[in-house]
Structure 1
Amino acid sequence: MAANFLDPSDNKALISRLFRLMPDARPRWGTMTAGQVLVHCADQLRVSTGAKRLTSFWVPSFLKPLLKKRFVTHFQGFKPSMKTLRELDSRRGMTPPVSFAADHATLIGLLSPARYNPRGIEHPLFGLLSAQEFGEITWQHLDHHLRQFGV
């Protein structure tokens, strides 16, 4: 079974890694700063749960299962060159960073498993994601960015 941010043990390990991310860390790839990555990851959680609306991309309901199959069920991992949605892009639509400390605290708060329905979420691109699917794909996304900064 893959790592899942909703699992208490995996969550604790992920949070521990987040505390090792430093504001002056340099990326191994990409253009985002460590502070921008915190907001980017927080925005991913906001988009996933509907707290931040997607306006750049709309998926008809009948296509959501196909996207879910490709990008969640059979996902092969995040690549350094992958493009992101405008709402998550640090140059176009991401929530503006406040400060490293504030954005760090916000992300840690959003990673609390108690915030999420144990039955899953209704994702705007993938439709219904079980808690297992949501927890695993979110863990993979954060792991990708933590590895980006050597954490």
Structure 2
Amino acid sequence: MAANFLDPSENKALISRFFLLMPDAPRRWGTMTAGQMLVHCADQLRVSRGEKRVTSLWIPGFLKSLLKKRFITQFKGFKPGMKTLRELDARRGMTAPVGFAADHATLIRLLSPAGYGPGGLDHPLFGHLSAQEFGEITWQHLDHHLRQFGV
């Protein structure tokens, strides 16, 4: 079983890593700053929770299960340089950063497992994700960006 940010012990370890992130941490790849990465990750959670709409890409319902299978079930990991949705892109549609400390606090709040139901969620791109699927893919995404900044 893969790491899952909804698991209490793995959530605690992940959050501990975010507390090691410094505002001036140099990136190993990509163009985002450490502060922008916090907002990018928070926006990914906002999209998953239905708090931020994805309008740049529309997936018909019947294709969501195919996309889910390819991206969630057969996914081989996030790679440096992967493209993101416009709504999560620091140069195009991401929520504007407020400040490192405030954006950090927002992300930590969004990482609380209490904010996610045990039955999973309906994702705008993948359709229904079980809590296990959502927790695992989100952990991979967050880990990818923490590694981007050497944490």
Deviations 1:64-96 (A, max 9, x none): 000000111111000001000000000000000
Corresponding residue for residue 61 of structure 1: 61
Is 1:108–2:108 an aligned residue pair? yes
Deviation at 1:48, TM superposition (A): 1.1
Q: CA RMSD in A?
A: 0.4
Corresponding residue for residue 139 of structure 1: 139
Query: SS where residue 141 of structure 1 aligns?
Result: helix
Q: State how far apart, in whole Å, the 2-side matches of 1:23 and 1:4 are.
A: 26
TM-score by length of 2: 0.99
The letter for the 1-side match of 2:135 is G
Query: SS where residue 128 of structure 2 aligns?
Result: strand
Deviation at 1:147, TM superposition (A): 0.2
Q: State how far apart, in whole Å, the 1-side matches of 2:82 and 2:101 are.
A: 27
Corresponding residue for residue 71 of structure 2: 71
TM-score by length of 1: 0.99
Deviations 1:21-56 (A, max 9, x none): 000001000000000000000000011111000010
Q: State how far apart, in whole Å, the 2-side matches of 1:122 and 1:116 are.
A: 11
The letter for the 2-side match of 1:19 is F
Q: State how far apart, in whole Å, the 2-side matches of 1:51 and 1:7 are.
A: 22
Corresponding residue for residue 87 of structure 1: 87
In structure 2, runs of 5+ residues without a counterpart are none
Corresponding residue for residue 6 of structure 2: 6
Q: State how far apart, in whole Å, the 2-side matches of 1:33 and 1:81 are.
A: 14
Alignment length (residue pairs): 151
The letter for the 2-side match of 1:140 is Q
Corresponding residue for residue 29 of structure 1: 29
The letter for the 2-side match of 1:136 is E
Deviation at 1:125, TM superposition (A): 0.2
The letter for the 2-side match of 1:69 is K
Q: State how far apart, in whole Å, the 2-side matches of 1:28 and 1:21 are.
A: 13
In structure 1, runs of 5+ residues without a counterpart are none
